[in-house]
């Protein structure tokens, strides 16, 4: 079964849940440096396809946070510094 990558208009989209301490930590660290990102609540209604995509890129496991970048690449539970570096790469900023 082919799982469709979620569409995003943001360079950085974090798939997260309110109860997840790793999600909260990543968002807090990105907020501290005013790093822009969109967030998608994976526990919201209608997130079945999103959760299937998360599992498809994490060996069948629903691991969050999973970050999707605008170039189609993704990262599982990345450090904030890695997200900032990828954002610089995507936006061409120094």
Q: What are 3-58's pLDDT values in tens digits?
A: 899 988 899 999 999 999 999 999 999 999 999 999 999 999 999 999 999 999 99
The SS3 of residue 61 is coil
Give the pLDDT band of residue 1 (cuts 50, 70, 90): low
Reported pTM: 0.94
Q: Are 52 and 59 in contact (CB under 8 A)?
A: no
Domains along the chain?
12-91 (3.40.30.10)
- Over residues 71-81, the mean pLDDT reads 97
- Phi and psi at residue 41, to the nearest 5°: -80, 110
* Confidence band of 92 (pLDDT split at 50, 70, 90): confident
Secondary structure (3-state) at 84:
helix
CA–CA separation, 22 and 18 (whole Å): 10
């Amino acid at each position: 079964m082919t799982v469709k990558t979620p569409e995003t208009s943001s360079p950085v989209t974090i798939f997260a849940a309110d109860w997840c301490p790793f999600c909260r930590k990543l968002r807090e660290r990105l907020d501290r440096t005013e790093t822009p990102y969109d967030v998608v609540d994976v526990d919201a209604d209608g997130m079945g396809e999103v959760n299937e995509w998360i599992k498809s890129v994490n060996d069948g496991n629903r691991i969050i946070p999973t970050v999707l970048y605008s170039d189609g690449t993704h990262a599982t539970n990345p450090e904030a510094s890695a997200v900032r570096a990828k954002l610089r790469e995507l936006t061409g900023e120094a």
